[in-house]
Structures are given as structure tokens and as C-alpha cells.
Structure 1
């Protein structure tokens, strides 16, 4: 998407005399203009269309991320970027667009968390973030809660989302558990190295005694000699101990 959207100066300022969006679904006059917003095909006359500030780039092949510059269009009331190949995160300052009434970012490849500032859009009456790669908790707020009640599918297709109002709990690992896991991961290679070295040493000694008869004889002689010395030392020490105490 182009990053020069902030050059739309007529969208950057506030508009006075904004009226309600009409509910009619069919044209009543010849000069009415059709605008697709809030999931409907609505019609506006010449006077109403001046108050309807809309960007609709849906169902194209747009790529890249949503430019942060779009948050400078303070008079924007409807933004529809659905059905593209947009990636990256939703702009963190999306909550600045206080006039926004309809936001449709569905069917893209957006990732990351839903910005908490989204709950600041008090005029927002239509929201669709379905079928992206969003994750994390959903921002809380009375406006978003009421929107979910009216449009319960607006978060569908985002397997990483969790917490209210969804029925999927978020897993938050405890700090102590993470610390123990890190310590274990640091100590484990050291212990494995010691064990492998011990096994390798025993295997070398076993192979030498198995194939070297002279070494095998010398080993058993050494073992017998050490056994005799230890036995004599124990017997003498026990005899001295018995004489001193009895």
C-alpha cells in the first residue's frame, strides 16, 4: 500500500455536520451514489456523500503492511481493506481515528496482536478482523463487547486469539516455571557430557582388558593387591579399636 495517504488533506481535518448513515438499501433519486460499507450496499444523495469519507480498496492484490500514515486521516469514517494480501501488524495508533464507524480488515495475512487502542473507537459500529493470523488477547471495552454480540464471527479464522469474549483461555507461563526450565536447559548439557565421558572411559578399559591378556592379568593382580591391603588395614584398625575400648 502507498505510504502517502497522509496527503489526503481533506480527510485529515474534522468535518462538521456529520449525519447518520442511512438505512435504505435502494436508491430513491437518480443522483444517489452507492457506497459499500458496514457489509451493505448503501445509497447517499449529494448532500450526504460529502460527509461520507471512505477508503475502499477491498478485493484487490495489495501486499505489504498497512502504513502508519493512514492513522493521520482523522475524518475517515469507513475503511475497507478486506480480501487482499496485506501482512504485518494492525497500526498501533488505529484508535486515533475517532470518527471511524466501519473497519474491515478481513481475509488478509495480518499478524501480531490486536491494538488495545481499538477499544477507543466509540463510534465503531462494524468490525471484521476474521481470517488473518492474529494472536494474543482481545482488547476489552464495552464497545468491542457489544460489537461481538452483534457480529460473533468477526474474529473467526484467527487461531492465535484467546481470552474473552472467546471461549479459549490464554496460557500465561509462570515466571518460576520459566526460570526452572531455563536453569535445567543450562545444566542438562553438562550432565550429559559427564555421563558420556564416563561411559566412554569404561568402554575403553573394557576393550583393553578384553583384547590384551597381559593388561587383564596386571589389572586383576592390582585389584587383588589393593583388596589385600584394604583387608589388612581394616583388620588392624579394628584390633586396635577393640584393645583400646575393651
Structure 2
């Protein structure tokens, strides 16, 4: 439940909000001198659709329970001093259409999810620029320990997919088995022997006729010249 009193300090003044604060659908406190951490109680605002706290001096971490704000459509926490990892619960915001976490001190792996992966499809990295400690898609910075793992994994998988020794052994084995099957068929089945000999004779006759005709045509053309 939302506390009855909600305190916000801005420009040296302390603002007090009552229960009506729980029914806000939009909060824009950007461009002020807000300090301290983001109040965890703000995650209880179930009706909130737009939250803009950009261009302040907020520090600390993004509340882990931010994923409970299922009505949130737009979230802008850019240009603050927020640190720590981006909560994985952020990927569960099904209604989220706009996100900006740029220019903070965030670090760690960027969470992935169906909703987050569809934001800013033309330039998704713009949501996270200015956070030198962040890594993973869509940024170009790979997370520590992933490079060697994936390279090793790719090499192992490719080695398993194609092994020259296994390939050649299988090829020779298949050839031997195939010849043995043909030999056994010719040895033990008379009909197979008869059919194979007829086929051989037929092929031999066709090749012989072809060679004779071509040779005759060649000698005739040579004599004419």
C-alpha cells in the first residue's frame, strides 16, 4: 500500500503529497535539483503511466520493484548519478514504449526481454549511452568473461559439427560397406549377376559404337582436308 505521506525535496523545498499521489498518471520532476535515492514507494503507483526524473542529481540504484509499475508507458531517468545494475524486472513492463537511462553511472549487463528489445528499433543503444559500466546488447561492449566463453563454445561446436578424421573414416567405411553389399549380391544372387553382366555388355556396346562413329568421322574429316 502507498504511504499516506510522500515527501519530495526539490530546489531546497520539501513537498508533501497525500493519498491523492497514488492516483497520478504522470509525474514530471525533470530539470530540478532532486538529490538522494529514488523513493521505493514510487513503485506502488499502479496508475502511473509517465515518469520523468531526468536532469537531476539522483543517486543510488533504480528500485528493484520498478517492474511492478505495469501501467508505465514512458520512463526517463537520464542525466542523473544513478549507479548499480539495471533491474531485470524492467523487462516485465509490457506497456513500456519509451525508455531513457542515458548518462548515469549504471553498470553490469543490460537486461533483455521482449519489450525492451523492441524499444527504439532504429537506434536502441541511445537509451543506455553515457553509462561506461554497462555491457551487452545493444551496446558494443561485451560483458567480461563472455568473449572467451563464446569463442571457445563456437570452436567446440564447429569442431563437433565437422571433424575431418571422422568424415574420412565415415567415407571409407561407407565405400567398403557399399562394395561389400554389391559383391555379396553378385555372389549369392544369380539374377543380380545376370542383370549386371547384361548392363555391362549394353554399356560396352554403346561405348564401342560411339568410339567407332567418332573415329570414322574424325578420319573422314582429316582425309577431306
For normalisation by structure 2, the TM-score amounts to: 0.55
Unpaired stretches in structure 2, ≥5 consecutive residues: 9-15, 147-225
In the alignment, structure 1 residue 123 sits paired with structure 2 residue 133: no
Asked if 1 retains the 8 angstrom alpha-carbon contact of 2:58 and 2:80, the reply is: yes
Aligned to 1:58: 30
Tell me how far 1:168 sits from its aligned partner: 1.2
Query: Could you tell me how far 1:81 is from its partner in structure 2?
Result: 0.3
Q: Structure 1 residues 103 and 134, CA, compared in 2 at 3 Å: closer, same or farther?
A: same
Structure-2 residue corresponding to 1:9: 19
- Post-superposition offset of 1:7: 5.7
Per the alignment, residue 74 of structure 2 pairs with 102
Task: Determine which of 68, 74, 84 is the counterpart of 2:56.
Answer: 84
Task: State the Cα RMSD in Å.
Answer: 2.2
2:111 aligned partner: 139
In structure 1, distance between residues paired with 2:44 and 2:17: 9
Matched residue of 2:112: which SS?
A: coil
Q: Which residue of 2 aligns with 1:71?
A: 43
Following the alignment from structure 1 to structure 2, what is the Cα–Cα distance between the partners of residues 151 and 54? 26
Other structure's SS at 1:117 match: helix
Q: Give distance in 2, aligned partners of 1:8 and 1:149.
A: 39
d(CA) in 2 for partners of 1:56, 1:150: 26
Is 2:144 the partner of 1:171? yes
Deviation at 1:148, TM superposition (A): 4.0
Deviation at 1:132, TM superposition (A): 0.3
- Contact 2:6-2:18 at 8 Å conserved across structures: no
Partner residue in 1 for 2:213: none
Structure 1 runs not aligned, ≥5 long: 14-51, 174-246
The alignment status of 1:157 with 2:167, answered yes or no, reads no
Following TM superposition, the consecutive aligned residue runs of length 4 or more in structure 1 with deviations greater than 2 angstroms are 2-13
* Equivalent residue, structure 1, for 2:83: 111
Alpha-carbon distance in 2 for matches of 1:95, 1:166: 22
Q: Secondary structure at the match of 2:54?
A: coil
Superposed counterparts of 1:196-235, under 5 Å: none
Counterpart Cα distance in 1 of 2:65 and 2:104? 19
Distance 1:151 1:125 in 2: 14
Deviation at 1:3, TM superposition (A): 5.0
Aligned length in residues: 134
